Structure 1
Amino acid sequence: MSADLTIVPIETPSLGDRSYVVHDGEVAFVVDPERDIDRVLRTLEKHGVRLTDVFETHIHNDYVTGGLALAKHTGAAYYVNAEDEVSFERTPIRDDDTVEVGGRMRITALSTPGHTFSHLSYALTDAHAASGVDNSVGVFSGGSLLYGATGRPDLLGAEHTDALVRHQHASAHKLAELLPDQTEVFPTHGFGSFCAATQSDATESTIGQEKQSNPALAQDEETYVRELLDGLGAYPAYYAHMSPANAAGPSEPDLTPSVGGRPR
């Protein structure tokens, strides 16, 4: 990690997911926030930074997003893939678009279909890196490249699974080819999430480590496709309701403490 750039994961062990707050000491961006945005707001306050940008890697299937509510609450720009059909105003972002946050942090969107057709990963570089030093910091890979695994490709229906799993293989190779080996990998899913095709005990990784351990990078396409599809298990029924809810634009939740079992 670049000096003075801080990446704070916000973990939800019950879902096996992570959101991320990233800042330079003054301004911050957030990747894939969950609906309980109070955790993000507390993190921003603790670090004394101002939120300017919120990025979604994809329309999630396993939780209700807090992205729209967080953006409205703070006045931050809300980036969602221009290809996603949503019912709210967002800042559209596309493959190879770059967003500058605070003059130092540069985020480049990378099309990485597989978990969904419109999935994006976000590569972070440090504009203040010393001359001659690689400025790559990390990649927020959402449900694409996970630790020793990839996101599952079957959540959009059986008719799309074969195409998506092949996209997933190609997307993993795209990240491995574009990014230096020392680039840190920051996935949203994994950690026990049903959005992961397989599970890993790793808690951190780099592109170089994934080249050695990730089946998507170590296996040829046909072997990867066959073994991944053979290993897929069931996922929770509530997943069917999450993507429509997220595309509709969830509102900010009522987090008022209850008194005597009833909301205030």
Structure 2
Amino acid sequence: MRNTDIEASEVARRIVDENSEDLFVLDVRNEDDYEEWQIPESENVPIYDELLAHDFSGLEDHLDELPEDEEIAVVCVGGITSARAAQFLREQGFDAKSIPDGMNSWGRVHREYELTDLDGVVQIVRPGTGCVSYLVHDSGEAVVVDPSQYLDHYLGAADERDVEIVGVADTHAHADHVSGARRLAGELDVPYYLHGEDVAALDRVTELADGDAIEVGERELTVRHTPGHTPGSVSFEFGDALLSGDTLFLRSVGRPDLEDSSEDAVRTAASRLFESLDELTDLDDGTVVLPGHFSDEEVRPLATELGELKAESTNELLSYVEDGDEEAFVETIVESLADEPANYNEIKQINWGEEQPGDDVEELELGPNNCAAN
């Protein structure tokens, strides 16, 4: 029997891996939904409403634009209209398959990358949301940093490497995705680490402070308090690696307005962020920056030496830090803030322990990554 589906994880692999066979991703959602959030390199034919009514005329009008010699992956919101479109395309002779559960499944994809030049670091990327988490390990022990709510990915990564998870940490109280850190720590009966300024109403937290260390086998994660994105944001040093959380990204820095969006509060937080980044830029240029988010960077794993970041012109805000221009840094942030992450207030309440997650917890975090300052 012919396979009529293609999993979102397979799509993620093939659009990133240069050695993979060609794949054409056709998005049939409405244009506004596509513009807000889409699979990279996909093409949009906005015929969602027509397909709901079993009307294929709009798709038929675009047949000449579709490749006849490539596999076509069709995506919609939840997999219903994409299945209809894929079936119609197969009847026209195209090699078309539907992504089950549509963009919902795209948001759940996780991909692992070994940091070959950094012993004991595994990067776990969610291409659909721009979130990045880590498993750091040494001598049979591991600590998970910034895990998503999909815990099996971290348990599987640890099992694959025959290491025991002995701690779970968040670099800050997240506003863009529901943290799985407390639940993972609870299931494994290990400490959950978070800086004291971000604890809010949480209980059963091992509070972190600047200069603390979390033991991982014979090594340790060293805590650097790097406030700005949140009051309790931290970065972790692990050998030559800097897990920079939402303080420093490859092309930007963490936005400072998700705690309090009044202009005075944003300016104050941006100044704290400037000071944090100023301290980080004093680290050795060979330090490898491992961010907690990405936008459209195609490099995998997401890792760049600090010296390269400072020398390149792709991170405007970091260049202001290098120049010592705090005023330009703050003004640029104030003037260029993007829309807030979807449902961020509700997500914050959950991650602060002030609300319990409901049945819609997976849907809360679906959408584009908007944690960067510009």
- TM-score (ref. length: structure 2): 0.58
Deviation at 1:3, TM superposition (A): 7.1
Counterpart of 1:245, as a letter, is I
The residue number in structure 1 matching 2:241 is 138
Rounded Cα–Cα distance in structure 1 between residues aligned with 2:131 and 2:118: 25
Higher strand share: 1
% identical equivalent positions: 31
Matches within 5 A, 1:240-251: 240-248=345-353
Unaligned runs of 5+ in 2: 1-114, 360-374
Matches within 5 A, 1:100-249: 100-103=215-218, 105-125=219-239, 137-159=240-262, 160-177=265-282, 179-191=283-295, 203-213=302-312, 214-219=315-320, 220-248=325-353
Match of 2:209 among 87, 94, 110: 94
How many residue pairs align between the two structures? 234
Q: Which of structures 1 and 2 has the larger relative contact order (alpha carbons within 8 angstroms, sep 6+)?
A: 1
Counterpart of 1:12, as a letter, is R
Which region of structure 1 is more displaced relative to structure 2, 2-11 or 168-177? 2-11
Q: Which runs of 4+ in 1 moved over 4 A?
A: 1-4, 249-254
The residue number in structure 2 matching 1:76 is 190
Higher helix share: 2
Shift in CA distance, 23/151, structure 1 to aligned 2, threshold 3 Å:
same
Unaligned runs of 5+ in 1: 126-136, 193-199, 255-264
Rounded Cα–Cα distance in structure 1 between residues aligned with 2:209 and 2:138: 24
For the 8 Å contact 1:139–1:185, the answer to whether it is kept is yes
Higher CA-based Rg: 2
Rounded Cα–Cα distance in structure 2 between residues aligned with 1:81 and 1:58: 7
Counterpart of 2:202, as a letter, is S
Deviation at 1:155, TM superposition (A): 1.0
Counterpart of 2:249, as a letter, is L
Q: Once the two structures are superposed, what CA deviation does each residue of 1:85-109 show, in whole Å capped at 9, x if it has no partner?
A: 2322111110111222112x22111
For the 8 Å contact 1:94–1:109, the answer to whether it is kept is yes
Rounded Cα–Cα distance in structure 1 between residues aligned with 2:342 and 2:190: 33
Deviation at 1:40, TM superposition (A): 0.5
Rounded Cα–Cα distance in structure 2 between residues aligned with 1:29 and 1:253: 27
For the 8 Å contact 1:27–1:101, the answer to whether it is kept is yes
